[in-house]
Amino acid sequence: MPGTVTEPTQDKAEASDAAPSAKGKAAGKASGKDAKPSSAVARLAKMGLRRSVDLVLHLPMRYEDETTLMPIAEAIRRSGLGQPAQVEGEVISNEVTFRPRRQLVVKIADDSGELTLRFLNFYGSQTKQMEEGVRLRVRGEVRGGFFGAEMVHPTVRPVVPDEPLPDRLTPVYPATAGISQAYLRKAISGALARTPLPETLPAAVLQGPLAKLKLRPLAECLRLLHTPPPQESEAALADRSHPAWQRIKFDELLAQQISLRRAHEARREKNAPSMPRREDGLLTRFLQALPFRLTGAQQRVVEEIAADMTAQHPMHRLLQGDVGSGKTIVAALAACQAIDAGYQAAIMAPTEILAEQHYRKLSAWLEPLGVPVVWLAGSLKAREKREAVARVESGEARLAIGTHALIQDTVRFARLGLSVVDEQHRFGVAQRLALRGKAGSAEPAQPVQPGPDTVPHQLMMSATPIPRTLAMTYYADLDVSVIDELPPGRTPIVTRLVNDERRDEVIDRIHHAAAEGRQVYWVCPLIEESEALQLQTAVETYETLVAALPDLRVGLVHGRLPPAEKASVMDDFSANRLQVLVATTVIEVGVDVPNASLMVIEHAERFGLAQLHQLRGRVGRGTAESVCLLMYQAPLSPTARERLATMRETTDGFEIARRDLDIRGPGEFLGARQSGEAMLRFADLNTDAWLVEYAQEAAQMMLTRFPEAVETHLSRWLGGREHYLKA
Ligand code: ADP
Ligand code: MG
């Protein structure tokens, strides 16, 4: 078979050229607006509309009802209801006026009354088209304007005598600039006429697990959605609850489930080094040297990971655990297992502060046990970097820790066996995959050398729990381990909301905490529009606090600080040489100073829930009672109020993620970087999550019993785009 295993077979009938039958000539001329047909075809291709079936699956975003005409007087009577109306009338005047700005004003009339049409942007050809005496069919919203009832920028065309009104709702398609609706409609209706759309769901599936859904035939649904008869419920078509939409959404989710399962199988067919745990090695010595015992939850996930790493196919596991649950040590133990088996391990973190903290902690743990650890970050001097890279390439360094500098092309591992990605939600999909692709690409330096098809095991870590519906869709190809227990001796964090105006009281509290030997974080507001402004605010806050707290030592850390300075400030804070640390969000993830017990977040209303939870997680790491003060500036927007209330009510990361999902919806929850092209076009996980389970069941049955139907279905829905869903 040519190409890779997952390449979909092309269905001949569905794969034909996407251009309208006459290569767009007729449509291009008719509307007079489209550029050359070939460029229209190129634009279609850019929208992902290459094959006929792509056009057939390009569904309307809304509909316009052009099936009825209204007398002008009635349209005027109904103005203000926000409903478009369609009228016909003869042009009685046509003039270009220049006040208050250049515009074309056309008046039309029928037996019942007169209506003004106003065009602020217009072509000379339009003026011609609407000459006095011409009969026009006009569609738009009537508004009460300064000079009486008018339509601004209505859709206008000359009435063709004896032409009947359309008997179907007119579809309006998503389009990019340069593609007119007329062209798209023509292309799509051509495609609909010539593309056979055989049922891809076997009868046994439709009548078996899917019987309850009573799915209608796809071809019928597509026809209905492209050209709905006017008696269909416009509301159900518009909000996509119509049974025809349900069928489309189901088929889309099915394609996604099938492709996720196949990605899972493809991974299991790949090789990874088997790294069984050794009882007499580094791992054991490390555990013995550890000053605390693992929690039950940590022990459990360590076992799960150890079992994965013993297998000969790559681990693809997400380790989920709330902030402070102790994920780092689990990563370190996995690294020990890889090193014991003669491989290298890499740990990548999203920020330099976090990566450096991992480096310090892990090298302090492991170097005394004889493990060479190397540090790799963008800020290293060229020579230091060359040296670090050389140690990674030679295989001398057994553990590499760093930022995304680790995945740069210049870095080649001698024999990478395990890659760990901390705070994985902060990285893009491509970056995670890049680290996975780094297994032993250099000359063999040691006897243990992964083969050419070997990929390292991958462990991703995140404090952001994934809601169930997302886990079932985007993350279906991921095994998940959960640390659901915090290390002993933690006291819960008390969260208070404080109006900005009570800043003095906040400063008193800082004093108080410091007097008791505790330390304080002060997080400066997030200013999304301007990094410079954010920096300036941080500097000002720092100066204010220095002045207000003359007896305390206050430090400042932000993203623009040279790495060495950043590291030295963090060092001073870790060692309690600074009592107060003013910071921008650079401390958002992973920073671990157990003696810090007071967290002040300024303008908390500007942060997202996940971010607030991460920030708050910087305290409550020791035995002292910790407090988080969320300072806000009134008035609060309803969503900001909801977010802050959530923070006050719970410290449970899972509950916070659930509410976050409620407030924002899954698309935003995932963030553009996570979802990328994998976002579903039609199914919406807010409203259609219930369909996912059916899709899973159908996918399972089709994969085991109907491999040919699987191919046709995937080819129809994904064409060559299957890889988008593999992240
Ligand atoms: P996170 O899961 O947020 O990455 P860390 O790995 O930074 O959490 O751990 C938080 C703190 O808890 C660290 O100081 C770590 O040393 C400590 N810790 C981890 N596991 C245990 C344990 N079993 N007992 C006591 N302290 C622990
Ligand atoms: Mg961490």
Q: For 585-633, what is each residue's pLDDT tens digit?
A: 766 556 788 899 999 999 999 888 888 988 898 898 888 889 999 999 9
Q: What atom of ligand 1 comes closest to residue 292's alpha carbon?
A: 24
Q: Cα–Cα distance between 702 and 402 in angstroms, integer?
A: 43
Residue minimizing CA distance to atom 17 of ligand 1: 326
Q: Cα–Cα distance between 724 and 256 in angstroms, integer?
A: 10
Residue to probe by mutation, ligand 1, list 290, 292, 300, 359, most atoms within 8 Å of CB:
292
**CB 294 near ligand 1, within 6 Å:** yes
List the strands of the sheet with 580-583, edge to edge: 493-499, 626-632, 596-601, 519-523, 580-583, 554-557
Q: Which ligand lies nearest the alpha carbon of 326?
A: 1
Tell me phi and psi for residue 252, to 5 degrees.
-65, -45
For residue 223, give the amino acid letter. Answer: R
**CB 325 near ligand 1, within 6 Å:** yes
Q: Residue 51 in contact with residue 14, Cβ under 8 Å?
A: yes
pLDDT exceeds cutoff 90 at 501: yes
Q: Cα–Cα distance between 375 and 385 in angstroms, integer?
A: 9
**pLDDT score of 10:** 38
pLDDT band at 435 (very low <50, low <70, confident <90, very high): low
Residue minimizing CA distance to atom 5 of ligand 1: 326
Q: What atom of ligand 1 comes closest to residue 294's alpha carbon?
A: 23
Domain boundaries, the chain: 1-61+177-191, 68-165, 493-650
- Region label for 178, one of left (φ > 0), alpha (ψ between -120 and 50) or beta (otherwise): left
Tokens for 694, please give them: 């059916």
Q: Which residue has the higher pLDDT, 23 or 368?
A: 368
- If you average pLDDT over residues 225-230, what whole number do you get? 90
Q: Cα–Cα distance between 484 and 299 in angstroms, integer?
A: 11
**pLDDT score of 429:** 47
Picking from 181-190, 241-250, 529-538, which range would have the lowest pLDDT averaged per residue?
A: 529-538
Q: Cα–Cα distance between 204 and 609 in angstroms, integer?
A: 45
Q: What atom of ligand 1 comes closest to residue 325's alpha carbon?
A: 2
Picking from 11-25, 133-147, 185-199, 333-347, which range would have the lowest pLDDT averaged per residue?
A: 11-25
Residue minimizing CA distance to atom 16 of ligand 1: 326
DSSP string, 30-91: HHS----HHHHHHHHHHTT--BHHHHHT---SEEE--S----HHHHHHTTTSS-EEEEEEEE
**pLDDT score of 35:** 44
Q: For 277-288, what is each residue's pLDDT tens digit?
A: 988 899 999 999
**pLDDT score of 409:** 67
Tokens for 713, please give them: 């279905």
Peptide bond into 635 cis (omega under 30): yes
**CB 614 near ligand 1, within 6 Å:** no
CATH code of the domain made up of 68-165: 2.40.50.140
Q: Cα–Cα distance between 397 and 149 in angstroms, integer?
A: 78
**CB 621 near ligand 1, within 6 Å:** yes
Residue to probe by mutation, ligand 1, list 300, 359, 592, 619, most atoms within 8 Å of CB:
592
**pLDDT score of 375:** 94
CATH code of the domain made up of 493-650: 3.40.50.300
Q: How many whole angstroms from 98 Cα to the centroid of ligand 2?
A: 64
Q: Cα–Cα distance between 10 and 436 in angstroms, integer?
A: 30
Q: Which residue has the higher pLDDT, 440 or 307?
A: 307
Q: Residue 510 in contact with residue 520, Cβ under 8 Å?
A: yes
Q: What is the C-alpha radius of gyration for the chain, rounded to an integer number of angstroms?
A: 32
Q: For 383-400, what is each residue's pLDDT tens digit?
A: 999 999 999 999 999 999
Q: What atom of ligand 1 comes closest to residue 483's alpha carbon?
A: 2
Q: Cα–Cα distance between 582 and 555 in angstroms, integer?
A: 6
**pLDDT score of 233:** 80
Q: Cα–Cα distance between 493 and 636 in angstroms, integer?
A: 24
SS (H, E, C) 506-550: HHHHHHHHHHCCCEEEEECCCCCCCHHHHHHHHHHHHHHHHHHCC
**CB 332 near ligand 1, within 6 Å:** no
Tokens for 603, please give them: 């303008």
Q: How many whole angstroms from 270 Cα to the centroid of ligand 2?
A: 29
Q: Cα–Cα distance between 309 and 337 in angstroms, integer?
A: 8
**CB 618 near ligand 1, within 6 Å:** no
CA 634 from centre of chain: 30
Q: How many whole angstroms from 324 Cα to the centroid of ligand 1?
A: 6
Residue minimizing CA distance to atom 20 of ligand 1: 326
Residue to probe by mutation, ligand 1, list 325, 426, 481, most atoms within 8 Å of CB:
325
DSSP string, 177-240: TT--HHHHHHHHHHHHHH------S-HHHHHTTTGGG-PPPHHHHHHHHHS--TTS-HHHHHTT
Model pTM above 0.85: no
**CB 464 near ligand 1, within 6 Å:** no
pLDDT exceeds cutoff 60 at 722: no
Q: How many whole angstroms from 621 Cα to the centroid of ligand 1?
A: 8
For residue 169, give the amino acid letter. Answer: L
Q: Residue 454 in contact with residue 273, Cβ under 8 Å?
A: yes
